[in-house]
């Protein structure tokens, strides 16, 4: 008679909840608070961890961002309400070196970075994940809206059930090894209302707390002011020129512009609207042109994270869906691996506003699976 297989708990581990330690990454918002409360109620050995990512003294008066001083306080209150330990870890130096410095340098280089992806990749899913292992945790849970499903070859990354809340674009660089250890208990929920209903059920003090909107270290979305503070002199003036190089206006720094921008150019009296189509930091030029110049078909990628069973290089072409902006739905494309860990995506329908520094995320055209992605760059 074969031995009975150990029963898996709700986190997919062969242990009783009371014998399963889970580190929950708590930002102080409603999502991660619900995850921690739910797991505590189910009887897991929950340890809440909140990261202090920057000087929260300066951030106390700032609304709409995660990981500020009030958010640390809110996470602690949730832990007290549910009766599990909570720790605050000082990650200021790590965050600055791994996220903020690159953000500033990318903007200075004319790119449009996505620091939230780097934070997940380099801080939460690398450094904090290792801390969770040091705490003898069996897994780490977060409040991200994405799903981890077990496939024929192990854990797979899938879009969230709610397309409005899906955060797969921001988690494309999650590796297979990290996916073994991570859990995303909210990914299957129908909508944010379901999360808030759970927060109310558990009596959490953050049940009605507004969602964070801004990048946590960029008050009021003023990227240029932050970059000027980090890199004094970054806002050097220059020319706004047309496609032929004719000067149309002056600007106060390339850092104030992004690819696809139409407003705030200070150019009037033209027969058709102009858009930012190129940023040239070396010549300090902002190049503008008609909307048709924004259309892109070929997208060069580097730093590829591939989550398919077969090696990426095992095929010359992969027919997939891709997102080149977080707010756009996946579009049909062909992914071609290139030597040196690079790749190129051919969009079957050209996209507007594709910018270096953004992510290009790979999806199953016929399902919800996420196959990873890469970072858009200018190519050679």
What would the two tokens of residue 112 be? Answer: 């449009």
**Residue 25 labelled as part of a binding site:** yes
**Residue 31 labelled as part of a binding site:** yes
Q: Per the residue annotation, which of 67, 119, 139, 360 is the catalytic one?
A: 119
**Residue 27 labelled as part of a binding site:** yes
**Residue 32 labelled as part of a binding site:** yes
**Residue 28 labelled as part of a binding site:** yes
Give all strands of the β-sheet with 247-251 in edge-to-edge order.
Answer: 247-251, 238-241, 285-289, 275-280
**What is the distance between the alpha carbons of residues 235 and 224, in angstroms, rounded to a whole number?**
8
Query: Residues of 38-72 as b/e, b for ≥16 C-beta within 10 angstroms?
Result: bbbebebbbbbbbbbbbebeebeebeebbbbbbbb
Per the annotation, the verdict on 67 as an active-site residue is no
**Residue 308 labelled as part of a binding site:** no
**Residue 268 labelled as part of a binding site:** no
Residues 6+ apart with CB under 8 A from 308: 318, 371, 372
Per the annotation, the verdict on 139 as an active-site residue is no
Q: Per the residue annotation, which of 66, 139, 216, 360 is the catalytic one?
A: 216
Contact 255, 223 (CB under 8 A): yes
Q: From residue 74, give the alpha-carbon distance in Å to each of 28, 77, 369.
A: 5, 5, 34
**Residue 143 labelled as part of a binding site:** yes
Closest CA to 322 of 303, 302, 340, 349: 349
Which residues form the catalytic set? Answer: 119, 216
Residues annotated in a binding site? 25-32, 51, 143
Annotated binding site for ATP: 25-32, 51, 143
């Amino acid at each position: 008679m074969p031995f009975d297989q150990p029963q898996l708990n709700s986190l997919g581990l062969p242990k009783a909840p009371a014998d399963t330690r889970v580190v929950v990454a708590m930002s102080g918002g409603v999502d991660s608070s619900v995850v921690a409360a739910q797991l505590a109620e189910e009887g897991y050995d929950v340890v809440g961890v909140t990261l202090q990512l920057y000087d929260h003294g300066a951030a106390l008066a700032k609304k709409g961002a995660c990981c500020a001083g009030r958010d640390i306080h809110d996470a602690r209150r949730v832990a007290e309400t549910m009766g599990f330990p909570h720790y605050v870890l000082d990650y200021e130096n790590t965050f600055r070196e791994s996220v903020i410095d690159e953000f500033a340098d990318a903007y200075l280089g004319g790119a449009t970075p996505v620091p939230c992806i780097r934070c997940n990749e380099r801080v939460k899913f690398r450094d904090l994940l290792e801390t969770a292992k040091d705490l003898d945790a069996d897994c780490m849970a977060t409040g991200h809206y994405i799903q981890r499903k077990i496939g024929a070859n192990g854990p797979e990354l899938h879009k969230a059930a709610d397309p409005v809340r899906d955060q797969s674009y921001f988690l494309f660089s999650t590796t297979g090894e990290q996916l073994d250890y991570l859990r995303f208990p909210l990914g299957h929920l129908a909508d944010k209302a379901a999360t808030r209903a759970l927060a109310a059920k558990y009596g959490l003090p953050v049940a009605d707390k507004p969602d964070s909107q801004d990048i946590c270290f960029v008050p009021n979305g003023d990227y240029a002011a932050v970059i000027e503070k980090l890199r004094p002199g970054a806002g050097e003036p220059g020319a706004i020129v047309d496609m032929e190089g004719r000067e149309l206006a002056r600007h106060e720094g390339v850092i104030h512009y992004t690819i696809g921008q139409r407003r705030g150019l200070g150019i009037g009296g033209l027969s058709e609207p102009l858009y930012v189509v190129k940023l040239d930091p070396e010549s300090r030029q902002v190049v503008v042109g008609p909307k048709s110049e924004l259309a892109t078909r070929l997208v060069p990628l580097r730093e590829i994270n591939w989550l398919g069973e077969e090696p990426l290089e095992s095929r010359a072409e992969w027919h997939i869906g891709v997102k080149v902006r977080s707010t756009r739905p996946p579009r049909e494309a062909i992914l071609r691996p290139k030597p040196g860990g690079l790749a190129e995506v051919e969009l079957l329908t050209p996209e507007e506003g594709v910018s270096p520094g953004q992510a290009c995320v790979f999806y199953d055209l016929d399902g919800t699976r996420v196959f990873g992605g890469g970072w858009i760059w200018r190519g050679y």
